[in-house]
Amino acid sequence: MTLNALFDGAGKPAEAAAYEREVEAETIRLRRDFHRHPETMFGVDRTAAEVAKQLIAYGLEVEQGVGKHFGKGVVATLRGSRPGRTVLLRADMDALPIQEQNEAPYRSASDGVMHACGHDAHMAMLLGAANMLSRYRGELAGTVKFAFQPAEEGALPIEDGSMVSGGRDMIEDGLLDDVDLCFALHVWPELPLGTVGVHRAYAMAASTHFRVAFQGVSGHHGTPHLAVDALLMAAQFVTEMKVAMASEINPLEPGVLSFGTLRAGTALNAIAENSEITGSYRVFEEETVLRVRDAIVRRSSAIAASFGGGSEARFRLGTALKNDPRAAQLALTAGTAVFGAERALALEQPSLAGEDFALYLKKVPGAFAFLGSGTPACKQPLHHPNFDIDERMLLAGAKLHVRFVLEAMASNDVQER
């Protein structure tokens, strides 16, 4: 049996069908284990250890502790029998600080944490692909790298004050130094199960995370003139930034700014000495990313000064996810091989959601695909406490990764670095 036999449709050999059932059962088991034991941001020690264990079992070269600053990534290398391109496939490992409301037997065992964005499925599908590709490595002309990254959902500060995500951490550790093409996918409930969608250019917005802290002077509610109200500064900042988005950004360019958290004060009858507000904004052009950043710094500083207080702003600047058009065509060809031509969709409208994989595509040609996961039973959006997937998609996602590799290794359409 050859690797291509897995894509023969209804006429595939019995051996291939049996092997598919074996891989599918394994991906379901892994996905449920990851779902039951979610971990957030860079705190993915258990998850990374399980991923590494599986990759080692497949006979791959495995490097743990990848990342210049936090060192929590896992990278496995598979060398084919002949020289050729190096293709990287990526999955994200981190969950979200959300309390799960599902009652499935594999529901999260950690209070306040769940895989509400499908990263459990992403890991299981990429491990399934590693399983299949390692079994048929003799058919490969080139090298495959399997990257499992932490902290796709956010970033943490380092010594210089900048915010570092998992993708940046691994890229700065040399992850992409020898890579010619890269691919990733994301489960997407807005598309029906059994489809894949790929954009030929912009796919997702530059999602910038910001954190603004105000410093004031605490005081009694009966003597507000002797205090500097940090909570009031934060409240005014909310209004000012909504005005900025309406008046300083080109109205023909998509863009949105929203706030996520506000922390201030320690007592009901005391004026808050400190406040902190966090949020994100999503635009597409790099110039606009910087324009909104400057507006946040300028307006928070002016508000603080007008109250007689201080302010500090920190950012994880976003990068828009833009597919290489030729790599996007390879991804669509791969989707056709897995799902059929009518279910491999060239998407036009980009999403205002953000994705850390944008940093990969800024360095190396590649494409990001949306794997349809929408069914009547699994219709909740990403980041919802009832989010779940139909596990029938896991084998298809693993095969899509495999096909990314086969198309990339066979094609000369995409210029290597």
User: In this structure, what CATH number is given to the domain that contains residue 345?
Assistant: 3.40.630.10
Residue 308 falls within a domain, yes or no? yes
Q: Are 385 and 95 in contact (CB under 8 A)?
A: no
For every one of its 417 residues, what pLDDT tens digit does the chain have, with 9 covering 90 and above? 788 878 877 667 888 888 989 999 999 999 999 999 999 999 999 999 999 999 999 999 999 999 999 999 999 999 999 999 999 999 999 999 999 999 999 999 999 999 999 999 999 999 999 999 999 999 999 999 999 999 999 888 888 878 899 999 999 999 999 999 999 999 999 999 999 999 999 999 999 989 999 999 999 999 999 999 999 999 999 999 999 999 999 999 999 999 999 999 999 999 999 999 999 999 999 999 999 999 999 999 999 999 999 999 999 889 999 999 999 999 999 999 999 999 999 999 999 999 999 999 999 999 999 999 987 777 789 999 999 999 999 999 999 999 999 999 997 666 555
Catalytic residue among 24, 39, 120, 152: 152
Q: Are 369 and 335 in contact (CB under 8 A)?
A: yes
In a shared domain, residues 327 and 371: yes
Burial 80-103 (b: 16+ CB within 10 A, else e): beeeebbbbbbbbbbbbebebebe
In a shared domain, residues 274 and 221: yes
- On whether 221 is known to bind a ligand per the annotation, the reply is no
Residue 11 falls within a domain, yes or no? yes
Last residue of a domain, one of 274, 290, 316: 316
What confidence tens digit (pLDDT) does each residue in 208-226 have? 989 999 999 999 999 999 9
Nearest to 370 by CA among 348, 392, 391, 388: 348
Tally of CB atoms within 10 A around 64? 17
Tokens of 209: 């995370």
In a shared domain, residues 77 and 165: yes
Q: What strands, in cross-sheet order, belong to the sheet with 82-92?
A: 61-66, 73-79, 141-149, 82-92, 181-192, 366-374, 196-199, 344-347
Residue 131 falls within a domain, yes or no? yes
Alpha-carbon span 161 to 177, nearest angstrom: 26
Q: How many domains does the chain have?
A: 2
Alpha-carbon span 49 to 316, nearest angstrom: 27
Residue 416 falls within a domain, yes or no? no
Tally of CB atoms within 10 A around 31? 25
In a shared domain, residues 388 and 300: no
Residue 415 falls within a domain, yes or no? no
- On whether 401 is known to bind a ligand per the annotation, the reply is no
Q: Are 116 and 384 in contact (CB under 8 A)?
A: yes
Most distant CA pair in the chain, distance: 83
In a shared domain, residues 65 and 198: yes
Last residue of a domain, one of 301, 316, 331: 316
In a shared domain, residues 220 and 188: no
In a shared domain, residues 32 and 69: yes
Q: What's the DSSP call for residue 375?
A: -
Domain that holds residue 257: 207-316
In a shared domain, residues 15 and 97: yes
Looking up residue 228, the CATH number of its domain turns out to be 3.30.70.360
Tokens of 384: 């919802």
- On whether 159 is known to bind a ligand per the annotation, the reply is no
Q: Among this protein's residues, is 152 annotated catalytic?
A: yes
Q: Among this protein's residues, is 177 annotated catalytic?
A: no
What confidence tens digit (pLDDT) does each residue in 141-192 have? 999 999 999 999 988 888 887 889 999 999 999 999 999 999 999 999 999 9
In a shared domain, residues 222 and 110: no
In a shared domain, residues 90 and 194: yes
Last residue of a domain, one of 316, 336, 351: 316
Q: Are 145 and 77 in contact (CB under 8 A)?
A: yes
Residue 417 falls within a domain, yes or no? no
- On whether 119 is known to bind a ligand per the annotation, the reply is yes
Nearest to 291 by CA among 241, 352, 249: 249
Tokens of 364: 């190396």
In a shared domain, residues 33 and 93: yes
Catalytic residue among 94, 173, 390, 407: 94
In a shared domain, residues 111 and 216: no
